[in-house]
Amino acid sequence: MAAKPASSELSMENISLEALSLSEGIQDSPVCIIVLGMAGSGKTTFTRSLIQHAQEKFNPYVVNLDPACREVPYATHIDIRDTVNYKEVMKQYQLGPNGGIVTALNMFTTKMAKFAELVRRAGQRGHKWCIIDTPGQIEVFTWSASGNIITEGLATMFPTIIVYVMDVVRSACPTTFMSNMLYACSILYKTRLPFLVALNKIDLKDCSFVQEWMTDFEAYQDALEQEQSFVNNLTRTMSLTLDTFYENLVTCGVSAKTGVGFAQLIKHVLDCVTEYEKDYKPVYEKMRKERLAEQQATLQPPSTVEDSGTAVPMGLDLKDPPPYSGNNMFLMAPGLVPQQMDSEEFEDDMETDAKGNTEEQNFQTFVQSHLTAQKTKRNKFIQEQQKP
């Protein structure tokens, strides 16, 4: 559940967008850390551990951008689930899960200016980091317009870095490793931001083989020869292409479950911030000035007006939200409206829980009957062995 504002002055109702101006330049804080990774790589658990290790020194401001998750294992300051009703989006637009996530992110992005203002205020209140957890389906965020707007919008106003969470256990297969590296490479060149690869789940498998494959081409070729797959030739060719990519890639082995390696990870994050200030900030400063010039050109009134026209509202405003009802897709700002469930949604959830309980009971019954049968068979065998 999203953290509620500590006082009335922190609410969305009194945000003045005039305070958030591109003319102010890139702020020194907070540092925005966008966590990306394949589904199942452990992004959410990684985010929780990163928050815990950075809490004392960096006081992170936490943002959840996954509208489809039922709950998150950490307290959030901004939660997209408080702004967009994901199930209602799917129902009204007749979308599937991925389409619902994309549409929910698009709706959230329409309030990007106020989201950025909340992040700016967080920096003024002493939050040195802003950690952003993204949807499990990585392509939904990295290749959608909303993901691009959020990433570039933050990078134009705050120091921003990308942390790519990689599952070490699943990457033990050379072809899966190459798929992960290709995705990491594409994200690096698309976002044009400092990039850090967190090799997660080292409590289950040591990450030294990944680092060896990155630095020793022959070692990766030897591992690839042991795989009997028709894509080996393609993978071998791609490994030659990515040699240049590996040279400047920063990696760090961590365990999101046990917390091992996060001290070293935080050092790498600080190095990435320095890299942003040195190499990337001038690029985004130039981009900021170009956008500022476009805004000023747009604000100038036309020389002649043929038709005054009729004012048409362009969308909902968070400072003047509609009354909450069960059918609303777009709700108020984070923490201002308690989450409610309509009767139909409640019945659906109850039915889902009932089915889950029934399946669990059936599974337990099957296991118990199987164990009983095995025990009976074993006793019968022992009795036959004891007969003279």
pLDDT by position in tens, the chain (length 388): 344 333 333 344 444 444 445 556 788 889 999 999 998 999 999 999 999 999 999 999 999 999 999 889 999 999 999 989 999 999 999 999 999 999 999 999 999 989 999 999 999 999 999 999 999 888 888 888 999 999 988 998 899 999 999 999 999 999 889 989 989 999 998 988 999 999 999 999 999 999 999 888 888 888 888 877 777 778 888 888 887 788 888 999 999 999 999 999 999 999 999 999 999 988 888 887 887 788 778 766 555 544 444 444 444 444 433 443 444 444 434 443 444 555 555 556 566 666 656 766 766 777 777 778 777 877 777 777 777 6
What percentage of residues in the chain have a pLDDT greater than 90? 43
**Residue 191 vs residues 150, 152, 185, 289, 335: alpha-carbon distances, Å:** 11, 8, 10, 19, 30
Give the pLDDT score at 29: 84
* Chain Cα centroid distance, residue 65: 6
Residue 195 is encoded by which pair of tokens?
A: 């990039």
Superfamily of domain 27-292: P-loop containing nucleotide triphosphate hydrolases (3.40.50.300)
Asked whether the CA dihedral 208, 209, 214, 219 is positive or negative, the reply is positive
Backbone CA torsion sign across 86, 89, 92, 96? negative
Confidence (pLDDT) at 15: 43
Q: What Å distances lie between residue 319 and 11, 109, 231, 327, CA to CA?
A: 9, 16, 54, 20
Ramachandran quadrant class, 315 (left: phi over 0; alpha: psi -120 to 50; beta: rest): left
Taking the whole predicted model, whether its pTM rises above 0.85 is answered as no
Which residue, among 164, 304, 177, has the nearest Cα to 236 in the 3D structure? 177
**What are the residues whose beta carbons fall under 8 Å from the beta carbon of 150, sequence distance 6 or more?**
65, 105, 109, 112, 115
Report long-range pairs for 343-346 (Cβ below 8 Å, ≥24 apart).
345/87
User: Which two tokens mark 379?
Assistant: 């006793």
**Cβ neighbours around 130 below 10 Å, total:** 27
pLDDT at 327: 41
Beta strands (DSSP E) in 38-91 are 61-64, 78-79
Largest CA distance in the chain: 114
pLDDT value of residue 248: 83
The torsion angles phi and psi of 341, rounded to 5 degrees, stand at -125, 135
